[in-house]
């Protein structure tokens, strides 16, 4: 349990660093570390497939994409932001944590979590035989993302 | 057949960039509009017959092997499909002329088709997680469409919309996760069934609060509305029309109503009903007063959308069949009228280069079609008889009185007067009075833009004249699906 809590604290810490870091590379690395810790947490909580995806895709592949993009586009490097953001974010975050602890402390003991239902099975069974429609939806999300990139990074035509 | 509502726009969108390489304008225009027309015909003709014997659950198979893809149509989802198809068809026509100066039409239509596929998927799914996924499909497409013009304001508005929408998505996902933990299932019926056997009021209440926050953000209900007055005016006019006319209703109101009625089993007078009514009433009043102060035409329309969605939520929140019918009829009327008004604002902006009402004046002389159709839309939303908005507001007010909510009925009437006030201000400033010399050379909107607005104006007038037939054919089956609450999900669609 202590290990779980330590990992959760690490995830929160590196997530905050990812938001606050002025250097984009440091922000991307912080995010990757947070994802890595989350992946380890998934393993410890008995969800190895989620852990593998989290570490390979989020901590690995996406971080590589971030690095490549930063390397290809970096000119000035640091992100400029107002001082108000640096003050407001920690205040908001502390308020959120306090509210979260208070709500969850009263709520969690009253949630009776069931030990598995009708939708359990092996990873392959769940993904391909029970949740096929999710894959269609996720393909659509990816497709929408691709079109968004095509539209937002397009070259303006001469007649525009 | 039902899967075409999702599959067809998805497949055509996938090929649209390639088609755009062959023909930059004509082929994307023709193909996208053909899809919108086909979906409209499918919803209006086949859909009604399909649910003639009650809700239909359809499972897909591939080479004889059943796939785990189930979609369902009942009166409520068919009504939403019809509204989506009708408005997007008009928007498709309008975009033929309007989107020319933006360029990259193939990309635009690809994103619009993705948004339509997302909205259609959202109303056809039978499962909480699938609802979330299709919500994201529509949302991702809409972020890009808001920023499509690539100007500073558009990018800033899209980013603000994205950030607040992510918060909404997180709240929705947490609620879905908690419900899955509680019930071990994600299907609407299975979750509803399991919740009935659980003594977990606090946990369910917390999930309901998260859903209200998440879907309230998507629907832009006050106090979750901050993103909408920036995002909707910044988007190209056809997208403003889809966002205000459809997306906030599908991803906000539809999802909220479906979950509250068919999963949680909302009952008239219960805590969920009270919460929705209070949120609806606050949105009506606050946004109406904020709209008065606006000099930016599209921003005023955006605030008006928040106020009118408040009426829809108020009606649905009452929980009685009359209230639900009124709320759904207002959803339909507002989708048509607000779509029309945003298209008109786009026509004015394209002709004059401004959205500032104080700079306009006398435009009716130069743009008579835009002025006339705009008047029709404004009067309908303000609730002037015999237009559609009058009947839907009347039903909501009657339902409030019938359910013993006299104070809210008075609030709804007074806010309607305020609505009429700011729409008359808009009409006077934009179209009436002496023609501003700057606009002496202004011309009426091009053919397809005018055709789309005239079609929508005729539909707005028709929805008022034939409101009884619309209620009987579309609203009644939809409100019955909701009013039956858990019964619809559990017994009408046993396979959920």
Kindly report the CATH number assigned to the domain that includes residue A37.
1.20.120.1200
Residues A84 and A135 occupy one common structural domain: no
Residues A84 and A34 occupy one common structural domain: yes
Residues A25 and A74 occupy one common structural domain: yes
Is A18 contained in some domain?
Answer: yes
Instruction: Report residue B109 CA to chain centroid gap.
Output: 19
Is A110 contained in some domain?
Answer: no
Give chain A's domain count: 2
pLDDT at B374: 95
pLDDT at A160: 47
Q: Which two tokens stand for residue B374?
A: 């705009």
Q: Please, which residues 76-115 of chain A have a Cβ atom closer than 8 Å to chain B?
A: 103, 106-107, 110-114
Which range among A4-18, A114-128, B204-218, B310-324 shows the weakest confidence by mean pLDDT? Answer: A114-128
Determine which of B9, B24, B141 to mutate to test the interface with A (most A C-beta atoms within 10 Å): B141
- Whether the pLDDT of residue B143 is over 80: the answer is yes
- Among A63, A57, A44, smallest CA distance to A1 is for A44
pLDDT at A97: 79
Mean pLDDT of B273-289: 94
- Shortest distance between the Cα of A64 and any Cα of chain B, in A, equals 23
Residues A138 and A64 occupy one common structural domain: no
Residues A63 and A21 occupy one common structural domain: yes
pLDDT at B116: 96
Helical segments of B99-236, H only = 105-124, 128-146, 152-183, 188-196, 201-219, 228-234
Specify the 3-state DSSP secondary structure of B296. Answer: strand
Distance CA A160, CA A155 (A): 10
Q: By the 8 A CB rule, do B238 and B300 touch? A: no
Residues A85 and A141 occupy one common structural domain: no
CA distances to A113, B40, B298, B436 from B429, rounded to whole Å, are 59, 36, 14, 11
Which range among A36-50, A122-136, B312-326, B376-390 shows the weakest confidence by mean pLDDT? Answer: A122-136
pLDDT at B487: 59
Determine, for residues A136 and B118 on separate chains, whether the beta-carbon distance falls below 8 Å. no
- The pLDDT confidence band at residue B438, using thresholds 50, 70 and 90, is confident
- Whether the pLDDT of residue A54 is over 70: the answer is yes
Q: Which residue of A has its CA nearest to B100?
A: A160
Distance CA B277, CA A44 (A): 44
Helical segments of B252-320, H only = 255-262, 271-292, 297-318
DSSP per-residue letters across B192-210: HHHHHT---HHHHHHHHHH
- Among B277, B386, B381, B398, smallest CA distance to B331 is for B381
Residues A35 and A84 occupy one common structural domain: yes
- Whether the pLDDT of residue B40 is over 90: the answer is yes
Residues A57 and A133 occupy one common structural domain: no
Kindly provide the b/e burial profile for residues B449-468, where b requires at least 16 CB atoms within 10 angstroms of the residue's own CB: bbbbbbbbbebbbebbeebe
pLDDT at B153: 85
Distance CA B353, CA B408 (A): 41
Residues A10 and A48 occupy one common structural domain: yes
Which range among B79-83, B148-152, B165-169, B214-218 shows the weakest confidence by mean pLDDT? Answer: B148-152
Is A28 contained in some domain?
Answer: yes
* B154 interfaces chain A, CB cutoff of 8 Å: no
Report the mean per-residue pLDDT for chain A.
Answer: 79
Mean pLDDT of B337-350: 94
Is A73 contained in some domain?
Answer: yes
Residue that finishes a domain, picked among A43, A77, A94:
A94
Specify the 3-state DSSP secondary structure of B160. Answer: helix
Residue that finishes a domain, picked among A53, A76, A94:
A94
Residues A89 and A142 occupy one common structural domain: no
Mean pLDDT of B14-41: 91
Distance CA B125, CA B133 (A): 10
Distance CA B7, CA B60 (A): 12
- The pLDDT confidence band at residue B22, using thresholds 50, 70 and 90, is confident
Percent of chain A with pLDDT over 90: 15
Give burial (CB, 10 Å; 0-12/13-18/19+) of A54: buried
Residues A13 and A71 occupy one common structural domain: yes
Is A108 contained in some domain?
Answer: no
pLDDT at B318: 92
Determine, for residues B200 and A111 on separate chains, whether the beta-carbon distance falls below 8 Å. yes
pLDDT at B48: 72
* B421 interfaces chain A, CB cutoff of 8 Å: no
Mean pLDDT of A133-151: 88
Distance CA B410, CA B406 (A): 6
Between A129, A147, A160, which is nearest B102 by CB?
A160
- The pLDDT confidence band at residue B239, using thresholds 50, 70 and 90, is very high
Q: By the 8 A CB rule, do B99 and B238 touch? A: yes
Determine, for residues B17 and A112 on separate chains, whether the beta-carbon distance falls below 8 Å. no
3-state secondary structure B374-396: HHHHHHHHHCCCCCHHHHHHHHH
Specify the 3-state DSSP secondary structure of B68. Answer: strand
Q: Please, which residues 130-159 of chain A have a Cβ atom closer than 8 Å to chain B?
A: 130-134, 136-138, 140-141, 143-145, 147-148, 150-152, 154, 156-157, 159
| E strands present in B15-122 | 56-62, 65-73
pLDDT at A38: 93
Is A48 contained in some domain?
Answer: yes
Q: Which domain holds residue A138?
A: 121-155
- Whether the pLDDT of residue B138 is over 50: the answer is yes
Q: Which two tokens stand for residue B72?
A: 């369902």
pLDDT at B494: 41
Determine, for residues B144 and A151 on separate chains, whether the beta-carbon distance falls below 8 Å. yes
Is A112 contained in some domain?
Answer: no
For B191-204, what is each residue's pLDDT tens digit?
A: 988 888 887 788 88
Is A105 contained in some domain?
Answer: no
Residues A136 and A89 occupy one common structural domain: no
For A29-38, what is each residue's pLDDT tens digit?
A: 999 999 999 9
- Whether the pLDDT of residue B492 is over 60: the answer is no
């Amino acid at each position: 349990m202590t290990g779980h809590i330590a990992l959760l604290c690490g995830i929160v810490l590196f997530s905050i660093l990812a938001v606050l870091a002025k250097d984009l590379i440091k922000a991307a690395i912080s995010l990757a570390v947070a994802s890595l810790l989350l992946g380890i947490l998934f393993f410890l909580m008995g969800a190895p497939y989620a852990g593998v995806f989290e570490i390979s895709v989020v901590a690995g592949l996406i971080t590589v994409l971030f690095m490549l993009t930063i390397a290809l586009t970096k000119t000035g490097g640091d992100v400029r932001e107002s001082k108000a953001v640096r003050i407001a974010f920690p205040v908001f975050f502390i308020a959120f944590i306090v509210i979260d602890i208070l709500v969850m402390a009263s709520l969690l003991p009253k949630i009776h979590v069931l030990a598995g239902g009708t939708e359990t099975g092996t990873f392959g069974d769940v993904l391909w035989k029970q949740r096929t429609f999710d894959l269609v939806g996720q393909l659509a999300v990816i497709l929408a993302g691709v079109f968004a990139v095509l539209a937002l990074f397009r070259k303006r035509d001469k007649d525009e | 057949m039902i899967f075409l509502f999702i599959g067809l726009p998805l497949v055509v969108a996938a090929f649209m960039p390639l088609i755009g390489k062959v023909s930059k304008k004509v082929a994307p225009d023709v193909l996208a509009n053909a899809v919108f027309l086909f979906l409209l015909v499918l919803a209006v003709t086949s859909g009604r017959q399909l649910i003639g014997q009650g809700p239909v659950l359809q499972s897909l198979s591939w080479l004889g092997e059943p796939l785990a893809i189930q979609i369902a149509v009942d009166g409520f989802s068919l009504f939403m499909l019809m509204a989506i198809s009708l408005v997007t068809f008009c928007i498709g026509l309008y975009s033929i002329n309007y989107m020319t100066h933006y360029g990259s039409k193939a990309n635009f239509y690809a994103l619009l088709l993705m948004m339509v596929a997302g909205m259609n998927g959202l109303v056809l799914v039978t499962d909480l997680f699938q609802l979330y996924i299709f919500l994201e499909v529509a949302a991702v497409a809409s972020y890009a469409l808001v920023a499509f013009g690539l100007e500073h304001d558009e990018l800033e508005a899209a980013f603000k919309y994205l950030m607040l929408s992510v918060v909404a998505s997180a709240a929705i996902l947490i609620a879905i996760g908690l419900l899955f933990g509680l019930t071990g299932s994600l299907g609407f019926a299975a979750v509803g069934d399991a919740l009935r056997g659980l003594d977990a009021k606090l946990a369910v209440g917390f999930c309901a609060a998260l859903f209200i926050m998440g879907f309230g953000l998507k629907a832009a209900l006050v106090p979750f509305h901050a993103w909408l007055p920036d995002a909707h005016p910044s988007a190209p006019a056809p997208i403003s029309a889809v966002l205000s006319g459809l997306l906030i209703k599908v991803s906000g109101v539809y999802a909220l109503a479906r979950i509250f009625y068919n999963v949680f089993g909302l009952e008239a007078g219960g805590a969920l009903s009270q919460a929705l009514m209070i949120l609806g009433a606050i949105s009506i009043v606050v946004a109406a007063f904020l709209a008065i102060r606006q000099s930016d035409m599209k921003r005023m329309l955006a605030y008006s959308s928040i106020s009118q969605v408040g009426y829809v939520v108020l009606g649905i929140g009452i929980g009685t069949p009359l209230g639900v019918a009124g709320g759904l009829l207002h959803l339909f009327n507002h989708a048509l009228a607000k779509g029309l008004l945003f298209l008109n604002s786009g026509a004015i902006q394209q002709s004059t280069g401004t959205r500032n009402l104080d700079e306009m004046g006398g435009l009716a002389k130069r743009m008579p079609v835009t002025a006339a159709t705009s008047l029709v839309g404004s009067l309908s939303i303000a609730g002037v008889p015999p237009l559609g908005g009058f009947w839907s507001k009347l039903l909501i007010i009657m339902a409030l009185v019938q359910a013993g909510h006299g104070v809210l009925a008075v609030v709804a009437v007074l806010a309607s007067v305020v609505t009429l006030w700011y729409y008359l201000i808009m009409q006077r400033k934009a179209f009436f009075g002496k023609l501003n010399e700057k606009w002496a050379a202004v011309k009426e909107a091009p053919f397809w833009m005018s055709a789309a607005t005239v079609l929508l104006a005729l539909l707005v007038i028709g929805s008022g004249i034939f409101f009884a037939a619309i209620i009987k054919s579309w609203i009644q089956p939809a409100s019955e699906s909701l009013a039956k609450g858990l019964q619809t999900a559990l017994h009408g669609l046993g396979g959920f």
